[in-house]
Structure 1
Amino acid sequence: MAPEREGTRERQPAGATATHRPRVPRLDQPGPRRRRLLPEYDPEAFGRLSERIARFLGTGRFIVWMTFVIIAWLTWNLTAPPHLRFDPYPFIFLTLMLSLQASYAAPLILLAQNRQDDRDRVNLEQDRRQNERSIADTEYLTREIAALRMGLGEVATRDWIRSELQDLVKELDELRVDGHRPAGVFPAEHPRGRDADDH
């Protein structure tokens, strides 16, 4: 084992340090940023912009402005002098602009709908969890109320104690009228006094 170690030491050039070793990518550090051919963009900002555009496309204001632009376009290209018309009668440029607007509007509307669907899905999931928590809390409270009712069923109520005391008073009155002392109602007094046992 020792000769092999010495042989490996001899293979390394003199003065070789850790800085001269070949660099391997470390796993505990972030790697270098890769260059991308496509331009980078913020998907959240683009999604908000698409929702704003889709919201504007679905309003009556957009329809009014679009109608006004088309009427002005057609009026100018029909009544202006021939050398100032930029889109003569078949209105090919107008058709191209409208198809371009439609081709961009459809994906933007779909993107806005997808974002709305994602928000609805998250809201539904939160509502479902909230409903589950509410049901669990309701079941817990129902069990607690049932346990309290069962416990209260075994507790002496005020009316029951009052009725028992009234029955005892009646029995004592009856015994007093008869002149007999009931056994066990009043303990027999000690001949030396009531406080003799307490000392």
Structure 2
Amino acid sequence: MARAEQPERRFDTPKGLGRGRGDDNDRFGRFTELVARGMGTPWFLFGLSLFVAVWMLWNTLAPADWQFDRADYGFIALTLVLSLQASYAAPLILLAQNRQDDRDRVQIEQDRQRAERNLADTEYLAREVVALRLAMKDLASRDFIRAELRSLLEEMDKRDESESQEEDDHARTRS
């Protein structure tokens, strides 16, 4: 007989933690959020108010044999049902809030890390801009090049004048 294949044991997971339990916790967390969202709507308040009104009308106006929660005793069953609903609603809402707080905490941490990366990138770019500005100081500016060209043109004009004067002097000496 072949042995049933056992799942691979992992040593980085504590003993007793199965794969499905994380999904169960998440499923329960989603359920608590669904309940909290549902209870926070106007439709829930309207439905609950309608339920209480129908309950009270039925137990007040119906024949005595059909009444199950008499108004003479102060609607004891209705009070019990509403207390039970409140006793389950409050912890479910708190669980949903804790879950939202955990998500907010993770989001804040991610935002902080993103801000740190942006700050580091900005500082790097600022250093690069400063390095470029320092490198630009070593480069010749447009005004510097124009001044150099003017001085070269002046030297060339002086040289042309001196050459033309030498040619004139040389031509005079020949004649």
TM class, shorter-chain normalised?
A: 0.7 to 0.9
Deviation of residue 179 (structure 1)?
4.6
Question: Unaligned 5+ residue runs, structure 2?
Answer: 1-7, 17-22, 166-175
1:157 and 2:141 are equivalent in the alignment: yes
1:62 match: 44
Deviation of residue 139 (structure 1)?
0.3
1:185 match: none
2:156 match: 172
User: Cα RMSD between the aligned structures?
Assistant: 2.4
Q: Which amino acid aligns with 1:53?
A: V
Distance in structure 1 (CA, Å) of the matches to 2:41 and 2:124: 49
Q: Could you say which structure has the larger radius of gyration?
A: 1
Give 1:132's match in structure 2, choosing from 95, 116, 124: 116
Deviation of residue 168 (structure 1)?
1.3
Greater helix share, structure number: 2
Partner-residue secondary structure (3-state), 2:139 = coil
In structure 2, relative to structure 1, the CA distance for the partners of 1:83 and 1:103 (3 Å cut) is same
Identity %: 50
- Ranked by relative contact order (alpha carbons within 8 Å, sequence separation 6 or more), the top structure is 2
2:131 match: 147
TM-score by structure 2 length?
A: 0.77
Partner-residue secondary structure (3-state), 2:161 = helix
TM-score by structure 1 length?
A: 0.68
Q: Which amino acid aligns with 1:77?
A: N
Deviation of residue 102 (structure 1)?
0.3
Question: Unaligned 5+ residue runs, structure 1?
Answer: 1-27, 35-40, 182-199
Deviation of residue 146 (structure 1)?
0.2
Deviation of residue 180 (structure 1)?
8.0
In structure 2, relative to structure 1, the CA distance for the partners of 1:72 and 1:159 (3 Å cut) is same
Q: Which amino acid aligns with 2:95?
A: L
In structure 2, relative to structure 1, the CA distance for the partners of 1:177 and 1:30 (3 Å cut) is closer
1:111 match: 95
Flag as ranges the 4+ runs of structure 1 deviating above 2 A.
28-31, 174-181
2:3 match: none
